[in-house]
Amino acid sequence: MPAKYQKGFSLPEIVIAALLFSVSLLGLLQYQQTLLQGFHRQRQLKQAWSLAQQNIEILANGDFPFSESRLPKPALGWQYTHNADRINESCVKLNVKVITPQKQQVELNRWLCDTQE
């Protein structure tokens, strides 16, 4: 058979196809990494709101001044602060701030007032 009737792909065609495949694969991997980071941030943010709510509940069910020993210890990389400000003789404002390892912050406030007349 003459050489001009051979079937198959030439070397330049294979190199171009491999290059296009590589670029496409790298783009998809970058997209997946971005999605995973977004999901991780959302999960941490949800966990931060849950921790803030948990701390507010613990503080609200205690007596003023509040004892820090009743609060759970933060996990590694997590931080939270809390304070209670007496606004007047019958109202206290609770504030809890939670900071995630990725430095996202959530803050939750609650007012506790005695309604005794």
List the chain domain ranges. Answer: 11-113
The mean predicted confidence, pLDDT, of the chain is 87
Confidence tier at 67 by pLDDT (50, 70, 90) = low
% of the chain with per-residue pLDDT over 90: 54
Cα distance between residue 43 and residue 98, in whole Å: 14
Q: Does the pLDDT value for residue 31 go beyond 70?
A: yes
Mean pLDDT value of segment 84-91: 86
Mean pLDDT value of segment 19-24: 96
Cα distance between residue 79 and residue 116, in whole Å: 36
Mean pLDDT value of segment 55-82: 79
pLDDT, tens digit (0-9, with 9 covering 90-100), for 99-114: 999 999 999 999 988 8
Mean pLDDT value of segment 7-24: 93
Q: Is 33 exposed, middle or buried (0-12, 13-18, 19+ CB in 10 A)?
A: exposed
